[in-house]
């Protein structure tokens, strides 16, 4: 089996390599790390570290590096995309510029997520073209954010077998396991919603409904991600919803509080992008050490925990027809009745050699949030349409459909401002 990693110079790659080393069920013979010319230095560092890790594990896996997508993708069984078009400089703009207009700055939601989508989708389309020409049976496992929009864009406009993945559900599951002091392997959690807008609908332990047990614990504890301010959801909200929102919902349910937090961070040069730039610089200094032959503990500061668990277990499930359950971004196909069948949703799926099948359930509690889900899907659909048609007017319409914006004047001003700093990556007719 050959696996290619597009964005191979990413600081996350050692996490993937560790996942491959630790999984004894998949017989990988070749890993190709691919990046762009501007990422050559980081690619070289990651390549050397990856080789040391594989050597220490005494595995017969050939590690290669290249700047040529054809060479990387040709005859691959799986292509993992972890690209960040524009790098961390663009991420900083995504977080910083919207704040000038009193709009939330974030890399995957709101204005920032919108421009990240505009930068990312054309490059993903190019990767799909290579897959369809040189590895037509390969799966594209896409981690590139915003994963839900990217996955829907591919499913709508390409013939690539794409699976959108995110570490939020597995992070939530592991945190809940710790909070409740329960064996995570016996936890059954039904996730339903959209990427970075997903909810826990039901939760069971050894077939016993423990939703109320979790609610009780959340009165004093919290579920959060490293890249999101640690604010607690109001318990009255959780009891009313009868759903557990993912940490990214704070941008929607606590918009004003989150905006104030970000504006303070902007003044102190402490936005998450500023933090990540520093973490990345330090990480690569660690990665350079010839004595390092394992994933360093410092990588935990970067976020993206359980990243390799998601990717490698997914490859294992498909390759070995395990028919186990993963939370993935897939076509709705009637799982959420109130959304179109061709919408991409994030939900529990059965995974085997014949592909991905979302699990249908009685998701009645979604009636409490269906308006927001529809609004976000409308935003996502218009975003994809604006990229595909290169239509600026559609792009601004997409922005005002986003629940975090809903203001034409602000949308138009921030759009022109953001477009100027992204003109290297985004072209409109």
Positions marked active-site = 248
Strand partners, 162: 140
User: Half-sphere exposure (CA, 13 Å, Cβ side) for 394?
Assistant: 16
Residue whose C-alpha is closest to residue 425's, from 167, 101, 90, 145: 90
Strand partners, 194: 197
What is d(CA 248, CA 231) in angstroms, rounded to the nearest whole number? Answer: 11
Query: At CA 106, angle to CA 104 and CA 112, rounded to 5?
Result: 90
The answer to whether 201 and 241 are in contact (CB under 8 A) is: no
Query: What letters, b where the CB count within 10 A reaches 16 and e where it falls short, cover 337-368?
Result: eebeeebbbbbbbbbeeeebebeeeebeebee
What is d(CA 59, CA 81) in angstroms, rounded to the nearest whole number? Answer: 24
User: Half-sphere exposure (CA, 13 Å, Cβ side) for 18?
Assistant: 17
| DSSP 8-state assignment for residue 232 | P
Residue whose C-alpha is closest to residue 424's, from 46, 119, 83, 87: 119
């Amino acid at each position: 089996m050959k696996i290619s990693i597009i964005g191979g110079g990413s600081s996350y790659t050692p996490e993937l390599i560790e996942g491959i080393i630790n999984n004894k069920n998949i017989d990988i013979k070749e890993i190709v790390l691919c990046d762009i010319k501007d990422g050559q230095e980081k690619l070289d560092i990651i390549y050397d570290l990856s080789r040391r890790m594989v050597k220490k594990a005494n595995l017969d896996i050939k590690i290669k590096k290249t700047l040529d997508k054809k060479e990387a993708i040709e005859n691959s069984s799986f292509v993992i995309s972890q690209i960040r078009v524009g790098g961390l400089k663009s991420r900083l703009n995504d977080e910083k510029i919207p704040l000038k207009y009193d709009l939330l700055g974030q890399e995957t939601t709101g204005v920032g997520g919108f421009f990240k989508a505009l930068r990312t989708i054309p490059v993903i389309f190019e990767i799909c073209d290579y897959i369809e020409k040189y590895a037509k049976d390969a799966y594209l496992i896409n981690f590139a954010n915003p994963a839900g929009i990217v996955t829907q864009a591919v499913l709508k406009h390409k013939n690539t077998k794409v699976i959108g993945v995110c570490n939020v559900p597995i992070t939530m599951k592991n945190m809940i396991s710790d909070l409740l002091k329960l064996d995570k392997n016996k936890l059954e959690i039904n996730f339903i919603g959209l990427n970075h807008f997903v909810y826990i609908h039901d939760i069971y332990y050894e077939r016993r409904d423990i939703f109320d047990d979790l609610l009780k614990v959340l009165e004093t504890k919290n579920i959060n991600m490293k890249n999101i301010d640690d604010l607690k959801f109001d318990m009255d909200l959780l009891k009313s919803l009868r759903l557990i929102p993912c940490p990214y919902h704070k941008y929607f349910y606590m918009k004003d509080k989150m905006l104030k937090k970000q504006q303070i961070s902007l003044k102190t040069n402490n936005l998450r992008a500023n933090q990540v730039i520093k973490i990345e610089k330090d990480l690569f200094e660690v990665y350079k050490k010839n004595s390092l032959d394992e994933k360093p503990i410092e990588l935990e500061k970067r976020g993206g925990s359980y990243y390799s668990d998601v990717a490698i277990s997914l490859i294992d499930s498909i390759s070995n027809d395990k028919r186990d359950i993963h939370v993935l971004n897939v076509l709705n196909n009637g799982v959420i009745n109130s959304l179109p069948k061709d919408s991409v949703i994030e939900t529990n799926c059965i995974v085997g050699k014949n592909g991905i099948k979302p699990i249908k359930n009685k998701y009645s509690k979604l009636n409490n949030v269906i308006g927001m889900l529809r609004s976000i899907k409308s935003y996502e659909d218009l975003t994809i349409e604006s990229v595909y048609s290169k239509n600026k007017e559609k792009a601004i319409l997409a922005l005002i459909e986003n629940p975090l914006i809903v203001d034409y004047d602000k949308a138009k001003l921030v759009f022109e401002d953001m477009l100027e700093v992204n003109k290297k990556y985004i072209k409109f007719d």
